[in-house]
Amino acid sequence: MTSAHLGLDLGGTNIKWVVLESDGPLPRVADTGQVPTDTSRGEQSVVEQLVALAGDSVHRVGRIESVGVGVPGLYDPVTGATRFIPNVPGTWAGVEVAAQVSAAVVAPARLINDARAFTLAEHRLGAGRGVDSMLGITLGTGVGGGLILGGSLYMGRDGTGGEFGHQTIVADGALCGCGNRGCLETLAKADAIVAACGLATVAESVEAARAGDGRAREGLTAAGRYLGIGVCNVAVLLGVDRVVVGGGVAAAGDLLFEPMREELRRRVFITDVAAIDIVGAELGIWAGAIGAALCAAEVTSSVG
Ligand SMILES: [Zn+2]
């Protein structure tokens, strides 16, 4: 029997959704779409949009078994309420998003961090297929991450396991949005890269670097080195098999990946770094929504 699972991916610019259909070991993407995020009334209009999109899906599909909502921030996994979402306007502390979406579809709903959702999707259906352990990295406005350990998404104590971008790289570095100083995110987020490259956007920086611009090349190499140091820390601590890099900034490809690989070769001697792949993601802009749907589907099927 075929079951349908909805994934919603809340972003600062768009809300994306996918419907996964499952009647075997691997689900398939049956439907996708996106709408601009409506922040006209802060978090209220955003939550109304999520509820409406979930309701629309039930109308189209007939019955939804579960809903996963990917959020670009932190949440309480017990209550399904958001805690901190820095890049979507609104007052997000204590907003019971999962309960409201669940009521709209009459099915269980759960929240997941968007980078953890990306990681799960790439492991099950994308560039991480088949490996036992994987680090997922999302590069964009911020630096997100997620971990697959022993084939399962590792959530940590409260859903924050795998926060790759908030490891300290510089002891007294720049202040990070999380409150710490010197986080990897302060060195490798899009704003940091364009500042180092002396250009307006990451796309311009990548284009200039490919055309041979010295400052742009150095800016991207520096970001890649910092990301590589972060990967070294994860590699020695957890012995991951593969690193999958996605998000808009990952379009820089080997301009970032090569200095990352170089840091692994320079710093890690306790394991064979030649066996650790650093590769680009495969699922494109839908990875977050797919992973949110998978997360809810896997929890639902393991419970029932
Ligand atoms: Zn931080």
Ligand 1: centre distance to CA 73 (Å): 12
Q: Which residues contact 113 (CB under 8 A, 6 or more apart)?
A: 70, 71, 72, 73, 74, 75, 144, 146, 159, 160
Ligand 1: centre distance to CA 303 (Å): 34
**For ligand 1, a single-atom ion, which residues have Cβ within 5 Å?**
166, 176, 178, 180, 183
Find the mean pLDDT for residues 220-249: 97
pLDDT at 45: 97
Ligand 1: centre distance to CA 52 (Å): 33
Question: Residue 156 above 90 pLDDT?
Answer: yes
pLDDT digits (tens, 9 = 90+) for 54-69: 999 999 999 999 999 9
Ligand 1: centre distance to CA 184 (Å): 7
Which of the four pLDDT bands, split at 50, 70 and 90, describes residue 302?
Answer: low
Ligand 1: centre distance to CA 168 (Å): 8
Q: What is the mean pLDDT of the chain?
A: 96
CATH superfamily of this structure's domain 130-281:
ATPase, nucleotide binding domain (3.30.420.40)
The DSSP-derived string for 92-146 is -TTB-HHHHHHHHHTS-EEEEEHHHHHHHHHHHHSTTTT-S-EEEEEESSSEEEE
Same fold, 3-117+285-303 and 130-281: yes
Ligand 1: centre distance to CA 86 (Å): 12
| CATH code, 3-117+285-303 | 3.30.420.40
Torsion 207-11-151-157 (CA) sign = positive
Could you state, in order of their start, the residue ranges of all structural domains in the chain? 3-117+285-303, 130-281
Q: Which residues contact 34 (CB under 8 A, 6 or more apart)?
A: 14, 15, 16, 17
